[in-house]
């Protein structure tokens, strides 16, 4: 029921100005005023009161919003738009042990409500990144999560070894959504055993650094792959990487993107429901696991949805291409949503959609 002369199913409600005392308009109006008072108390949370802190495994973060790997540069590029230390964490683009050129152009294609990319994990290599990018990024006060990738288990192990003992790194996100040269270029993330092998190898070579496993949604049983990653020592699973996709230029009769076979990965609003389902299913199968939700988070409401599905934290990717300030805007929208809905701790929302 609303106040102010509105007609509802309960009949005409007098306007505020017409009421001199609650008793004068009978019991229904009195009940309305009581309800308004209760609602007032419920709304009494202001944005600044909301406790946004979360834990991702052993890592305590001041809030649950991070950048998604590959969409916020390798270093402090976004610091020009907002203080990177304001976010929960900054996840850098996946790095391999050696420099990697990535794929041929064109690498990005707008497709409906999504974007297909075939950037191909271009990067300077971990050594150069440690020398040239990490110092500036760490100086911003950001919590830095390094994403690593490889084409063999051994590549992941070498990449991890380079990170071992390096100060200024909060966690390593192991991107297993890349082709395994030792298994007919099948994605590591498409095999529970290959995923476990990689996560274990990373743990052996950089003990003490929390490991998060970034998984692909393009599998028959994501909960099984997540279980394998967690069993091998991942403190969290990051769900999801891009969805395998392709666009064809019908005039040229060829794939649009320049990667070898022409395929790419779909991201943005189109994949949001895929991410919500992935987070929901993995939370149901592994109630105690830490889950990071990523996929089409364009607003605070999208972040709320992933958290209600079971995410402890979220990452913002494609939205950053449209608006470089998107991660911090989404953080503020999440905070405001919590305040408007009387949620004092964002952690209270985790998994509530499971009933
Ligand atoms: C251009 C581009 C590059 C990406 N590069 C990486 C990467 O290097 N490593 C990785 O784990 N994910 C990478 N991703 C996947 C994103 O981190 C994210 O999982 C995915 O895009 C879904 O989130 P979004 O819809 O918010 O973008 C990339 C995505 C895009 C669009």
pLDDT, mean of residues 256-285: 94
pLDDT, mean of residues 44-72: 95
Condensed to tens digits (0 to 9), the pLDDT of residues 165-189 reads: 999 999 999 999 988 888 778 899 9
Residue 77 phi/psi, 5° resolution? Answer: -50, -40
pLDDT, mean of residues 74-83: 95
Judge contact between 151 and 180, C-beta under 8 A: yes
Which residue segments constitute the domains of the chain, with CATH numbers given? 7-42 (no CATH), 48-354 (3.20.20.70)
pLDDT class for 254, splitting at 50, 70, 90? very high
pLDDT at residue 319 greater than cutoff 80: yes
Least confident segment among 87-91, 156-160, 180-184, 211-215: 180-184
C-alpha 39/C-alpha 34 separation (Å) is 9
Q: Which of the listed residues 188, 267, 326 should we mutate to test ligand 1's pocket, taking the one with most ligand atoms within 8 A of CB?
A: 267
pLDDT class for 106, splitting at 50, 70, 90? confident
What separation in Å is there between the alpha carbon of 70 and the centre of ligand 1? Answer: 5
pLDDT at residue 288 greater than cutoff 80: yes
SS3 274: helix
pLDDT at 261: 84
Judging by beta carbons within 10 Å of its beta carbon (0-12, 13-18, 19+), is residue 281 exposed, middle or buried? middle
pLDDT at 260: 76
Stated pTM of the model: 0.88
pLDDT at 120: 80
pLDDT at 262: 81
pLDDT, mean of residues 247-258: 93
Q: Residue with structure tokens 């911090």? A: 328
pLDDT at residue 8 greater than cutoff 50: no
pLDDT at 26: 41
C-alpha 199/C-alpha 230 separation (Å) is 9
Q: Which of the listed residues 67, 241, 266 should we mutate to test ligand 1's pocket, taking the one with most ligand atoms within 8 A of CB?
A: 241
pLDDT class for 38, splitting at 50, 70, 90? very low
pLDDT, mean of residues 253-279: 93
pLDDT class for 43, splitting at 50, 70, 90? low
Least confident segment among 14-28, 199-213, 245-259, 324-338: 14-28
Judge contact between 268 and 321, C-beta under 8 A: no
What separation in Å is there between the alpha carbon of 130 and the centre of ligand 1? Answer: 21
Cβ–ligand 1 contact at 218 (below 6 Å) = no
C-alpha 3/C-alpha 20 separation (Å) is 15
Q: What percent of the chain has pLDDT over 70?
A: 88
pLDDT at 2: 32
End-to-end CA distance of the chain: 26
Ligand 1 atom having least distance to the Cα of 121:
8
pLDDT at 278: 98
pLDDT, mean of residues 47-74: 96
pLDDT, mean of residues 96-112: 85
Judge contact between 252 and 310, C-beta under 8 A: no
* 338 annotated active-site: no
pLDDT, mean of residues 99-120: 85
pLDDT at 6: 32
Condensed to tens digits (0 to 9), the pLDDT of residues 122-134 reads: 888 999 999 999 9
C-alpha 203/C-alpha 148 separation (Å) is 13
């Amino acid at each position: 029921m609303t106040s102010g002369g509105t007609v509802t199913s309960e009949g005409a409600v007098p306007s505020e100005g017409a009421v001199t005392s609650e008793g004068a308009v009978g019991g229904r109006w009195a009940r309305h005023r009581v309800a308004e008072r209760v609602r007032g108390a419920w709304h009494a949370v202001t944005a600044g009161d909301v406790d946004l802190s979360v834990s991702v495994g052993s890592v305590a973060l001041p809030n649950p919003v991070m950048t998604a790997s590959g969409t916020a540069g390798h270093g402090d590029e976004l610091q020009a738009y907002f203080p990177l230390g304001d976010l929960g964490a900054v996840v850098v683009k996946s790095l391999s042990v050696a420099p990697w050129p990535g794929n041929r152009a064109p690498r990005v294609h707008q497709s409906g409500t999504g974007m297909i990319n075939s950037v191909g994990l271009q990067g300077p290599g971990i050594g150069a990144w440690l020398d040239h990018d990490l110092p500036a990024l760490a100086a911003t006060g950001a919590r830095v999560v390094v994403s690593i990738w490889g084409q063999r288990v051994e590549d992941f192990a070498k990449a991890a070894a380079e990170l071992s003992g390096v100060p200024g790194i909060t966690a390593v996100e192991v991107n297993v959504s890349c082709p395994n040269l030792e298994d007919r270029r099948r994605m590591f993330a498409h095999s529970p055993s290959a995923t476990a092998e990689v996560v274990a190898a990373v743990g052996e070579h950089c003990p003490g650094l929390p490991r998060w496993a970034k998984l692909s949604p393009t599998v028959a049983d994501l909960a099984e792959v997540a279980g394998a990653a967690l069993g091998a020592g991942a403190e969290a699973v990051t769900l999801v990487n891009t969805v395998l996709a392709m666009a064809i230029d019908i005039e040229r009769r060829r794939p649009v993107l320049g990667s070898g076979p022409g395929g790419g990965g779909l991201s943005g609003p189109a994949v949001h429901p895929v991410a919500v389902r992935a987070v929901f299913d993995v939370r149901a199968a592994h109630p105690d696991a830490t889950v990071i939700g990523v996929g089409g988070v364009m607003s605070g409401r999208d972040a709320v949805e992933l958290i209600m599905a079971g995410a402890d934290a979220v990452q913002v990717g494609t939205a950053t291409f449209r608006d470089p300030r998107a991660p911090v805007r989404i953080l503020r929208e999440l905070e405001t949503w919590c305040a408007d809905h009387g949620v004092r701790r964002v952690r209270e929302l985790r998994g509530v959609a499971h009933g």
